[in-house]
Amino acid sequence: MSLKIKSVTQLVDLVSSETVNFTKTPQINGVDISTGGNPAGSTTQIQYNEDSAFAGSSNLTFNGTTLTGSFTGSLAEFTTLSASNISLAGTALQPIKYYQKPIDPIGKIWAPEVYYKFDSDFSDSSGFGRTATTAGNVAPTIQTSIKKFGAGALKMSADGQIKYLVDSTTSGVSPAIPMHQYQTGWTFSTWFYATSAPYESFVIAIKWTFGGYTTNDRILFIDSSGNLQWARNGAGSNVQLMSNGSQPLCDSSWHHIAFTFWRDDPLDPTAIKLRSYYDGTNLGATTVTMPSWSGAVSKTFSSNGDNASSPTGKDFYLDDLMFTNYPLGPDIITEIWNGGTGKVADEAGIMT
């Protein structure tokens, strides 16, 4: 219809008797935009584009206070994330320790005298070829179900024994080692696992006349209360290095333990002590009698199982066992523990 208005009077008459609607579609830069759409889903569901229409899901809601989301797939990396109760698949995220201090270059492990991974046998990975031998009424075996690294770990049954080497005047590529000469320093390091304390003792390491504990034999062992002790036969009372209350070892978890002797310990140069480490933590130095392995030659260095003549002898497990003829520093022992998240020493870049 065409309407021609010839006068103001005619316009007034038209407006007073007719309703005229003026509409305009909203535009951005001359392009019409849509103004329609209703929220989808239920109350509190956050809206998203679903094929040009609003959509909502119970997996993503916000009620003005709490934002709740449930996702499958992967989350993008967050630059900053601050929350105390974030959970994934129902399992709360646990705090992680990061050791940022760089490794002491002179503390890198070189030429360990023995290094046993216990993956499938008792072979020595140090390069010296000192393959361990088993003995006892119940000889140790390689266990594949309870292990810290690789394919297996050493299972030490009651009345079992494993002989690593013999202290001898002969050195070189052989089972023998001049252990008695290493009186200036040494390190013993291993991963340990047990479900409960022994009935008598778990012998972690001992230098002795094999088959008979005699004068001046040295021993690191866990007693029937779960405490780790150092003893020298004929030298008086045992010296406790780890307490079951503060450093539990027999709790169905793998723990890294290490012991160093350094006659010229710069932290305590006037004393002859053993320094102990529990899961990467330096427990400090403890005065002991004759912490070196000095003494008569022809003594065997070994680990021994619980006493089977007790009501029921207990088992324990060792993995990634190492002995060096020099003391490792705190940094490198912390790094060995930190490597417990998945790498053995020679794969973690701390052994040359």
Question: pLDDT tens digits, residue range 174-226?
Answer: 556 666 565 678 899 999 999 999 999 999 998 887 777 777 788 899 999 99
What is the amino acid identity at position 318? L
pLDDT of residue 239: 87
What is the amino acid identity at position 121? D
pLDDT tens sequence across 113-138: 889 999 999 999 988 888 999 988 89
**pLDDT above 90 coverage of the chain, percent:** 28
Token pair listed for 98: 């990061």
Token pair listed for 243: 């307490």
Q: Which string of DSSP letters, residue by residue, matches 128-163?
A: S----EEEESS--EEESSS-SSTT-EEEE-TTEEEE
Q: Give whole-number Cα distances, 120 to 46, 117, 190, in Å.
A: 55, 8, 17
pLDDT of residue 29: 65
CB atoms within 10 A of CB 32: 10
Query: Among 63-72, 178-187, 276-285, whose mean pLDDT is lowest?
Result: 178-187
Domain ranges in the chain are 108-345
Instruction: For the chain, give the number of residues.
Output: 352
Q: How far apart are CA 34 and CA 37, in angstroms?
A: 9
Token pair listed for 277: 């480490």
Sign, CA torsion 289/295/301/303: negative
CATH match for 108-345 among 2.40.50.100, 2.40.37.10, 3.40.50.300, 2.60.120.200: 2.60.120.200
Query: Does 104 score more than 50 pLDDT?
Result: no
